[in-house]
Amino acid sequence: MNLGVEDLTKLGCERMLIFAAEKNYFTIVAKNYYEKLKRSGWKGTVELVENEKEDHCFHLFDLDGDKAQEMRHKFVSFLKQDQFNLKQDLC
């Protein structure tokens, strides 16, 4: 993604969940994208979840770790919210 060129107001989604790990070299990019998205005029909602003291792909190296489980639960909750909204739209 090219943050200088991309027109974020044209994103087709209504919600976005961004995960970042504190020690990951992409954390700055994730935080910048989050801030730019909030300022862009995009009509959706965005949430940034930063995992402190963690590195890139930490959730894959320790699947049973507390933070990995929290991350999975957060992601599933995010997806289920979409599923709930879809059911409401169908009624």
Task: Give pLDDT tens digits for 11-57.
Answer: 888 899 999 888 888 889 999 999 999 999 899 999 999 987 877 77
Give the residue-averaged pLDDT of 71-84: 81
DSSP letter string over the chain? --TTT--GGG-S-SEEEEEEETT-TTHHHHHHHHHHHHHTT--SEEEEEEETT--TTHHHH-TTSHHHHHHHHHHHHHHHHHHHHHHHHH-
- 68 pLDDT above the threshold of 70: yes
Q: What is the pTM of this model?
A: 0.75
